[in-house]
Structure 1
Amino acid sequence: MSLLEPEVGRGRANCAPVTSKRPFTAWRRRAHQLSRSPLTLLGLAIMLLVVLLMLCSPWLVPHNPNAIDLAARLQAPSTAHWFGTDEVGRDLFSRVLIGSQQSVAAGLAVVILAGSVGSLLGCFSGVMGGVLDALIMRGMDIMLSVPSLVLTMALAAALGPSLFNAMLAIAVVRIPFYVRLARGQTLMLRHQAYMQATRTFGASRWHLITWHVLRNVLPPLVVQASLDIGTSILMAATLGFIGLGAQQPTAEWGAMVANGRNYILDQWWYSAFPGMAILITATGFNLFGDGLRDLLDPKSGGR
């Protein structure tokens, strides 16, 4: 016994540090891969900057974004008004800044709502199987058979023109993408040994979904969500452009571009700056989403 105990002790001592260092080593490897992708870092920088401006915009605006000054209407960019003014003299720089609260928050809210509902529904469908699974997936196929923008406009028009209704319409249209992704991942996990053992010990389906399935399908869902934020911002701006999103006097980027199209030939800045905000924000989120997908993809060496 005395000869074996030191060997066992040394074995435990040697194994413990290796196990404890694995998560740290994996994160270091991923951080190194992230640092080698300049486009992903650029997307991350844009995303953080946009979120920071969104949170701090009430304290950064130099003018009241809704203050009307007809004497200063349609002025070109200057030191007094960095982005110029609109048709009633409102400062466009202030409106673009405060508009980030509407546009970016709409994209984030859509992704949170659609991702949460779609992920739970997809995992539930994959775990249950049978007729219920078939009914859920046929419903998702019907929704996917209609072009996303057309279905979004129809739902937004039926609900009424407002930013909240536009967000709800976009979220409903994006749910099937998360359902299909979560269900596909669940079907791959359903026949794993630990899932079979959990069922043998009498675990409920809800326990399987919340405790085992969701944890394992989370990485691809996070990647899908990061890519969908840019898409949701563009769709919210599109609905605002055609009058189904935010209404006056709310500062929203798509609605500002729509209002400025009547003055595009002479007062180019009216539509240009809100349009640039949409372009830069959507590009930043998409770049970061693409980099995150490459980072978490097992085929690319991310795991």
Structure 2
Amino acid sequence: MSVAETTIAAPRAGTAELADPSAVRRALRRVGGWLHASVRYPGTLIAGVFVALVILAAIRPAALTRRDPYATAPAKMLQPPSAEHWFGTDQLGRDLYSRVVYGAQSTILASLVSLSIAIAVGVLFGVIAGYVGGATDAVLMRLVDVLLSIPGLLLSITIVTAIGFGTIPVAVAIGVASIPTFARTARAQTLRVCSSAYIEAAIVSGVTPAGIIARHVLRNVFGPVFSLALLEFGRVIMAVATLSFLGFGAKPPAAEWGSLINEGRSYLMTSSWVPLLPGLVVVLTVLAVTVLAARSEKELKR
């Protein structure tokens, strides 16, 4: 084959690759397959319903309860679960179920903000490091290694102590601590894509680096990052609840899952439902998210 024929063939290879379905469409197809398959797996279906209720509570808590989560009633303090108060009442007579429902808003919001920060910065670092390589790769990955060398919870506590307490500072702290996981995944996928023949064909055909990253690298990074985000979501929820339990989250009387557990821990022996029921909701949410993530990952790998 002559040089001219080789030059002509290269752009065709790149063009054929561009004609393939994007990674986003493939991922959406797989998620659709997961939704169809969930009917065959009752556990997955139950987990999906539970997560849907949690998301509804975070978006519109009034749809799940009409009680005021901040209304006190000293005459009804520390009542056990009943038909009137599904989760019982706390030490101030407030309806615990409504406080758990409204607490989902802060906890889920903080978790989503954390994931957004981790994905945005982590993918940026990973793609730049993997595509540029050389000294840039070395510097960025050493920074990621430094973050990885510090336990995530300790790093989050250090950051939130420096920037202040509250729901958003907690979200930022956990998001920064989660960056290395996404950065390493994005870098590995970028290196794999950049070693492919169609990338060389795209370079020969005159596609700019920005075009290669947008059309080839990012769409191939999306699938693994999406799957990782689902797996990380449960861990992030637990981390947000942990920092809130330790007193770094929203200040009382604001309802937040971790702070609800913290407020009720003094009544563990006398009124165990006060700390245990909010804690059970956190555990079930993390478990449900993990079940959905595991099923989604299996569907995405098919």
* TM-score (normalised: structure 2): 0.85
Matches within 5 A, 1:105-254: 105-254=109-258
RMSD: 2.2
Worse-matched range after superposition: 153-162 or 173-182: 153-162
Name the CA distance, whole Å, in 2 between partners of 1:100 and 1:89: 20
What is the number of equivalent residue pairs in this alignment? Answer: 277
Q: Does 1:65 align with 2:69?
A: yes
> Aligned match of 1:77 in 81, 93, 98?
81
Instruction: Give the structure 2 partner of residue 51 of structure 1.
Output: 55
Q: Deviations over 1:145-199 (max 9, x none)?
A: 1111111111112222211100000000001100000000110110212211222
- Contact conserved, 2:57 with 2:63, CA < 8 A, in 1? no
Q: Deviations over 1:108-142 (max 9, x none)?
A: 22112211221122111111101001100000001
| Matched letter for residue 171 of structure 2 | M
1:167 counterpart SS class: helix
| Matched letter for residue 282 of structure 1 | V
Worse-matched range after superposition: 85-94 or 131-140: 85-94
Name the CA distance, whole Å, in 2 between partners of 1:67 and 1:33: 43
1:204 CA displacement? 2.9
* TM-score (normalised: structure 1): 0.85
Worse-matched range after superposition: 119-128 or 35-44: 35-44
> Aligned match of 2:97 in 93, 98, 107?
93
Name the CA distance, whole Å, in 2 between partners of 1:202 and 1:281: 49
1:211 CA displacement? 2.1
Q: Structure 1 residues 81 and 45, CA, compared in 2 at 3 Å: closer, same or farther? A: closer
Worse-matched range after superposition: 164-173 or 144-153: 144-153
Matches within 5 A, 1:10-29: none
Name the CA distance, whole Å, in 1 between partners of 2:287 and 2:195: 39
| Matched letter for residue 207 of structure 1 | G
| Matched letter for residue 45 of structure 1 | V
- Contact conserved, 2:80 with 2:271, CA < 8 A, in 1? yes
Name the CA distance, whole Å, in 1 between partners of 2:220 and 2:127: 11
1:250 CA displacement? 1.1
1:54 CA displacement? 2.5
1:116 counterpart SS class: helix
2:92 counterpart SS class: coil
- Contact conserved, 2:117 with 2:175, CA < 8 A, in 1? yes
Name the CA distance, whole Å, in 2 between partners of 1:288 and 1:235: 19
Worse-matched range after superposition: 103-112 or 271-280: 103-112
Q: Structure 1 residues 81 and 40, CA, compared in 2 at 3 Å: closer, same or farther? A: closer
| Matched letter for residue 93 of structure 2 | G
Q: Does 1:280 align with 2:293?
A: no
Name the CA distance, whole Å, in 2 between partners of 1:199 and 1:273: 58
Instruction: Give the structure 2 partner of residue 258 of structure 1.
Output: 262
Name the CA distance, whole Å, in 1 between partners of 2:197 and 2:127: 18
1:258 counterpart SS class: helix
Name the CA distance, whole Å, in 2 between partners of 1:41 and 1:77: 27
Work out which of the two has the higher radius of gyration on C-alpha atoms and give 1 or 2.
1
Name the CA distance, whole Å, in 2 between partners of 1:125 and 1:34: 38
1:85 counterpart SS class: coil
- Contact conserved, 1:42 with 1:287, CA < 8 A, in 2? no
2:62 counterpart SS class: helix
| Matched letter for residue 257 of structure 1 | I
- Contact conserved, 2:34 with 2:296, CA < 8 A, in 1? no
Instruction: Give the structure 1 partner of residue 15 of structure 2.
Output: none
Name the CA distance, whole Å, in 1 between partners of 2:105 and 2:297: 27
Instruction: Give the structure 1 partner of residue 10 of structure 2.
Output: none
> Aligned match of 1:296 in 293, 297, 300?
300
Q: Which runs of 5+ in 2 are unaligned?
A: 1-19
